[in-house]
Structure 1
Amino acid sequence: MKQGVFYAIAAYFMWGLLPLYWKVFQAMGAWEILAHRIIWSVLFVAIIIVVTKRIRKLRESVSGAKMIGALIVCSLLISANWLLYIWAVNNDQVMQTSLGYYINPLITVLMGVIFLKEKMHVGQWVSLVLAACGVLYITIQYGEFPWIALSLALTFAFYGLAKKVVKLEAIIGLAWETLFVAPIALAYLIWLQISGTETISLLAWWQVLLLTLAGVGTALPLYWFAQAAIRLPLSMVGFIQYLSPTISLLSAIFLFHEPFTTTHLISFSLIWSALIIFTISSLRRKPASVSMKTGAPIKKEA
């Protein structure tokens, strides 16, 4: 139990600190950062797979057109999510990323109803209505739709649907998802070099060194999360998952000095209320649940 709590807190704490990490490369374009993240993730995950002797498992994990198609969809969705997140952070929209990951579990449940014909109970419907009111309120007050937040939530929700078809462990899944887009990322980086439009040359040596650790920052929290899911009850993981957007929100306000107005307070309060009702209601009913970060059902194993 203690190990599980440590792994869960470490995973969500690291995810919550990602805005600080991506801000280091603010001089670069979001597409270039994404390409580097994919390439370094492939290399780091490859090292893990070789060291843990999972090459055969990686090779045998994919079979059939349905599995390959689902993995390609996963690959495209997670790449889009990463791109949106990096762009938002480096364009001073960290608060919207926080909003997106607060509403993500609610959107995920709604996707289950729409596409998987799952049933929702009263508490979940109340939560969705409150969250919708929060989004609608901030849209009306500012006259601008929070497209970043909803795009992040939707890409993760659809990613979760695709993962229900794939059903691979975190590292193996990440390996395939990054491998599918790695050739595109590598070709893009080569094109930037040839055309002289790359921006990595604007970074200091220590920033370049940190960029090479993007693979570690991507794979390590996924591994920690997987370890936590094995050791902890679903209810505890459900509570800890809100650590990540909370850290991002606090970073947006106190470190990046993004404005947090009364409108933000009312909107976030509606969403926080929705999450409280959703969590309490889900704990009472104890339904099969979906992970915020992986989109896959969390199973407690012996």
Structure 2
Amino acid sequence: MSGTIDRRGLAVTAGTFVIWGVVPVYWHLLKAVPAMQIMAHRVVWSALLVVGWLLLRDGLGWLRRLVAQPRALPALALSAVLIAFNWGLYIWAVNAGHVVETSLGYFINPLVNVLLGVLVLHERLRRLQWIAVGCAAAGVAWLTWQGGSPPWIALGLAGSFGLYGLVRKLVAVDPVAGLGLESLYLFLPALAWVLWAEAGHGGGFAAGWSLGTDLLLVFGGVVTAVPLIGFAYGVRRIPLSVVGLMQYIAPTLQLLLGVWFFHEPFDAARALGFGAIWLGLAIYAGEGLWRSRQRPA
């Protein structure tokens, strides 16, 4: 196997993580809109984009292939609920001033994936992987003690996205086609919420809000769908060990935005908790990279 890396795949994957890293600024521009309405618009417009793209690319072939896998239908319904919860919690947290804690959620997500592998898939961890998980657990325990309660936002984001990844791992479908069916599952409930809000329950699309706000809500579908499609494209073209290291681009940018752009507190006590988690991630990523280089080509 060649040691070269597909440059286009690398660039697309890096761009995907950069978009996910700076997207808090985008949702912050919609701060005047209730989080559930942002979420509903996000689902509606991204569903139209993703399903429209799939229909143009493949007609109804993508849907027929999914329907031919009966096991995939309930699994993707569950993954749709999980990703909707993750998106909704993330948007609410950003606009409620918890960007730093959202970054924590995506820092600990890889180690949550490891624990799910042990508990659900009965995978066995190597010694350094257990040490990495222990460091992350110590960091979360420290942040819980310092804050007086667990970092529920971070744990909710990491847990929901970890479970989402587990479900998608257990059902073998094309990533974009799977996203298309998830979008179909969520479309009608999201559209119903938008219409209910517009019927005198706080909605302002095309009437109460500014044109700029309306356009941002519509373009939120692009902000949602394009990185997911780009990730599905890039991850097939570069080694997973590289993807594993690049995934820390997004929470790193989120943390920097939380501290320097949104001016959220990040004192020494909080930095110590993050430091323990970063140490665990460094051990985990370093061990995985070393193992991948030891394997024969």
Q: TM-score range by the shorter chain?
A: over 0.9
Aligned residue number for residue 248 of structure 1: 254
1:263 equivalent in alignment to 2:269 = yes
Distance in 2 (CA, whole Å) between partners of 1:184 and 1:57 is 22
Instruction: State the shift of 1:226 in Å.
Output: 1.9
Mapping for residues 50-61 of structure 1, pairs under 5 Å? 50-61=55-66
Q: Aligned match of 2:51 in 46, 54, 59?
A: 46
- For structure 1, which runs of at least 5 residues remain unmatched after alignment? 288-302
Mapping for residues 142-181 of structure 1, pairs under 5 Å? 142-181=147-186
1:89 equivalent in alignment to 2:109 = no
Q: Could you report, residue by residue, the CA deviation over 1:72-113 in whole angstroms, capped at 9, with x for unpaired residues?
A: 100100000000000000100001110000000100110011
1:3 equivalent in alignment to 2:8 = yes
Q: 1:275 to 1:77 in 2, by over 3 A?
A: same
Mapping for residues 143-292 of structure 1, pairs under 5 Å? 143-200=148-205, 203-286=209-292
Instruction: State the shift of 1:64 in Å.
Output: 4.9
Are the equivalent residues in 2 in contact too, given 1:29–1:199 (CA < 8 A)? Answer: no
Distance in 2 (CA, whole Å) between partners of 1:199 and 1:263 is 42
SS at match of 2:32: coil
Instruction: State the shift of 1:156 in Å.
Output: 0.7
Instruction: State the shift of 1:251 in Å.
Output: 0.4
- For structure 2, which runs of at least 5 residues remain unmatched after alignment? 1-5
Q: Could you report, residue by residue, the CA deviation over 1:39-82 in whole angstroms, capped at 9, with x for unpaired residues?
A: 00111012211221242122222335432110110010000000
SS at match of 1:195: coil
Q: 1:202 to 1:100 in 2, by over 3 A?
A: farther
1:111 equivalent in alignment to 2:124 = no
Aligned residue number for residue 296 of structure 1: none
Deviation larger for 165-174 or 21-30: 165-174
Deviation larger for 248-257 or 157-166: 157-166
Give TM-score, length-normalised by structure 2.
0.92
Distance in 1 (CA, whole Å) between partners of 2:109 and 2:127 is 19
Residue-pair matches, total: 287
Amino acid in the other structure paired with 2:224 = T
Amino acid in the other structure paired with 1:188 = W
Q: 1:61 to 1:121 in 2, by over 3 A?
A: same
Q: 1:185 to 1:128 in 2, by over 3 A?
A: same
1:37 equivalent in alignment to 2:42 = yes
Instruction: State the shift of 1:258 in Å.
Output: 0.3
Instruction: State the shift of 1:28 in Å.
Output: 1.1
Sequence identity, in percent? Answer: 39
Are the equivalent residues in 2 in contact too, given 1:25–1:203 (CA < 8 A)? Answer: no
SS at match of 1:116: coil
Distance in 2 (CA, whole Å) between partners of 1:33 and 1:177 is 18
Distance in 2 (CA, whole Å) between partners of 1:149 and 1:256 is 17
1:134 equivalent in alignment to 2:109 = no
Amino acid in the other structure paired with 1:214 = G
Q: Could you report, residue by residue, the CA deviation over 1:186-227 in whole angstroms, capped at 9, with x for unpaired residues?
A: 111111122342254553211211210112111111122122
Give TM-score, length-normalised by structure 1.
0.91
Amino acid in the other structure paired with 1:145 = P
Q: Could you report, residue by residue, the CA deviation over 1:159-195 in whole angstroms, capped at 9, with x for unpaired residues?
A: 1121123222222111111110111111111111223
